[in-house]
Amino acid sequence: MAFELNGKTALVTGGASGIGRAISRTLAGAGAAVHILDLDEKEAAAAATQIKAAHPGSRVFAHACNVADQEQVTACVAAIRKDSYIDILVNNAGIAHIGNIEATTSADMDRLYQVNIKGVFHCTLACIPGMKERGGVILNMASVAASVGIPDRFAYSLTKGAVRTMTYSLAKDYLAFGIRCNCISPARIHTPFVDGYLRKNYPGREKEMFEKLSKTQPIGRMGEPDEVAGLVLYLCSDEAAFVTGSDFPIDGGFIRLNG
């Protein structure tokens, strides 16, 4: 069958919630052994339990890991590699910031840099030596903010631009080792983060603002985490063996059809 990942091991950062949980669930459903790395150990364990219940016989493991901490990442990957080769790395962990340059502090910049950029660096650096032995797949989570100007996303946009260009560089440098590297650029996806943002900033107007944000996508709605996960599955599967060094918007027409 197409898109099977039987016998493969995947590592998903930020895999405990939102898009990351959907990715972990989808990869496990396709037969991969999935290792969820997340800052929230309890949520990671809950995600693993839920996925195993949905897919009896699946192998899903939870790890507490701060991707911004290189020592933690190195130790976690080393522990996984004692029992398994890592075939797939999905660098999904990331944090957001809302504000233009005047509303962005040096501390904000450092916080996003540590997670969104160095997190990708740490996890990829830890996995690359093993992948060089027999190939592998690296998939990074970028954003439409890496391609178009979005109001009040100064720091976030620059970090996602870095993710996209890191993807191109990795794809070029490790092509000869059979390592494919691509990135995905979602527009607005309906996750718990969106719901929390609306509750915090628009109390009593959540439904109104949700509809307003949804309509910024030409397709007229936000994406769903499972839709992103479906694209991840394709790019991580052997069906995408001819695909590397590319950015894949999944945006309801946001980049090309707005304006």
Which region, left, alpha or beta, applies to residue 65 given φ > 0 means left and ψ of -120 to 50 means alpha? beta
Q: Which residue has the tokens 């794809």?
A: 171
User: Within the chain, which residues score under 50 in pLDDT?
Assistant: none
Q: Which of 156, 168, 174, 234 is catalytic?
A: 156
Q: Is 174 a catalytic residue?
A: no
DSSP state of 99: B
DSSP state of 177: G
C-alpha–C-alpha distance, residues 107 and 59, integer Å: 39
Structure tokens belonging to residue 151: 């109001």
Which region, left, alpha or beta, applies to residue 220 given φ > 0 means left and ψ of -120 to 50 means alpha? left
C-alpha–C-alpha distance, residues 76 and 37, integer Å: 9
Q: Which residue has the tokens 């996984």?
A: 80
Structure tokens belonging to residue 155: 């720091």
Q: Which residue has the tokens 């890991």?
A: 65
The reported pLDDT for the residue numbered 193 is: 86
Is the whole-model pTM more than 0.85? yes
**Domains of the chain, start order:** 9-187+225-249 (3.40.50.720), 190-222 (no CATH)
**Main-chain phi, psi angles of 148, to 5 degrees:** -135, 155
DSSP state of 115: I
CB 233 within 8 A of CB 30: yes
The reported pLDDT for the residue numbered 201 is: 87
The reported pLDDT for the residue numbered 258 is: 83
Structure tokens belonging to residue 144: 């439409």
Closest CA to 131 of 56, 192, 77, 212: 77
The reported pLDDT for the residue numbered 259 is: 62
181, β-bridge pairs: 138
Structure tokens belonging to residue 8: 């493969």
